[in-house]
Amino acid sequence: MENDLKDALAARLLAMGDDEAILGHRDSEWCGHAPILEEDIAFANIALDEIGHAQVWYALHAELLGEDAASYPDELVYRRSAGAFRHAPLLELPKGDWAFSMLRQYLFDLYESVMLAKLADSQNESIAGAAIRIGREEIYHRRHTQTWVRRLGLGTEESNSRMQTALDALWPHVMELFRPLSGDATLIEVGILPNLGDVQTVWEAAIRPWLTESNLAIPEAIPSNYTRTHHTKHLATLLDDLQEVVRLYPEGSW
């Protein structure tokens, strides 16, 4: 593979892995604290899936760089500093209330399921295969989260207002999911990656009616100042927690 293409693909896979790892981490914070026991279990399932997806993308990233696919993902998650992470800042925001976490999960699940459906036709066979495997789990996520978004949107005045507040806070951060990385154009050209504009079109066509029918008003699209390379202050706090044990005993293997 040409170097340009390889660098571009590595960067894209890293961003995809980071998205999943950071969201899975935030979701896992709910286990033991959810509004009802059934949802402690359900949301933990979603977190487990997302962390599993991170492992898949990180492993492909590692293979591409000639690194060990089994151990390199942990190097990435546990030994990088905040500035090196490439996920969308949407995913690092603190878990907030149940409306915030559920709506973020829905916005991301829908993005992910559209992306995976297109990646299933990728010219890169490893990516296409992974997208098909992971895609099965996203069908379930999407069903779970859209069921919840509908019910919280239309439930009570309080639930509606909490959902609207969450949507207003999340919406500016969503756009970063669709902003191409510097190398993406190369990948799109050779059919490895779909055009993110197309992903966004499909995503909006699905998400706008669902939110509107859930009695939620879609805010104006004003992108936030935070990007995949410029994170909010919350990432450092998140990593202090996530990397605590490894930093305490840097020589250890686990």
Partner 1 sequence: MPDTQWPEYVVFQQDKPERVHHYAGGVHAPDAEVALLNARDVFVRRPECISLWVVRRDLIFGATSEEISLDPNWFTQFEVPEGRIEKYAVFQKHGPRGVHEYTGTVEGRSSRDALRAALTVYANQDVTVWWVTPEEAIRRSTSDDIAALFAIAETKFYRDEGQYRTQEALRKIKAMRDKEQSSHGE
Partner 2 sequence: MYGATIDLMDDPRDDAEKLAAFEARIAAGEKIEPGDWMPEEYRKQLIRMISQHAHSEVVGMLPEGTYITKAPSLRRKLILLAKVQDEGGHGQYLYHAAETLGATREEMLDLLLTGKAKYSNIFNYPALSWADMGIIGWLVDGAAILNQTMLAKASYGPYSRAMIRICAEENFHMRQGQDIIITLAIGTPEQKAMAQDALNRWWWPTLMMFGPPDTDSPNSTVLIRWGIKTKTNDELRQTFINQMVPELQSLGLEFPDPDLLYDAESGNWITGPIDWDEFWRVIRGDGPMNKERLGARRAAHEDGQWVREALAAYAEKHEMTSAVL
Task: Give the interface with partner 1 as residue ranges (CB under 8 A).
Answer: 36-38, 41-42, 45, 48-49, 52, 133, 136-137, 139-140, 143-144, 147, 151
Residue of the chain from 6, 7, 10, 45 that contacts partner 2 (CB under 8 A): 45
CB of 248 to partner 2, least distance (A): 8
Q: Answer yes or no whether residue 69 interacts with partner 2 by CB under 8 A.
A: no
Residue of the chain from 10, 65, 117, 242 that contacts partner 2 (CB under 8 A): 242
Q: Which is nearer to partner 1, 139 or 205 (CB)?
A: 139
Give the C-alpha separation, 236 to 89, whole Å.
Answer: 12
| Residue range at the interface with partner 2 (CB under 8 A); choices 109-117, 169-177, 184-192, 241-249 | 241-249
Q: Answer yes or no whether residue 149 interacts with partner 2 by CB under 8 A.
A: no
Residue of the chain from 77, 90, 115, 196 that contacts partner 2 (CB under 8 A): 77
CB of 97 to partner 2, least distance (A): 7
Q: Which is nearer to partner 1, 45 or 165 (CB)?
A: 45
| Residue range at the interface with partner 2 (CB under 8 A); choices 39-47, 60-68, 184-192, 200-208 | 39-47
Q: Answer yes or no whether residue 156 interacts with partner 2 by CB under 8 A.
A: yes
Q: Which is nearer to partner 2, 55 or 124 (CB)?
A: 55
Q: Answer yes or no whether residue 54 interacts with partner 2 by CB under 8 A.
A: yes
Neighbour-count burial of 25, counting CB atoms closer than 10 A to its CB (0-12 exposed, 13-18 middle, 19+ buried): buried
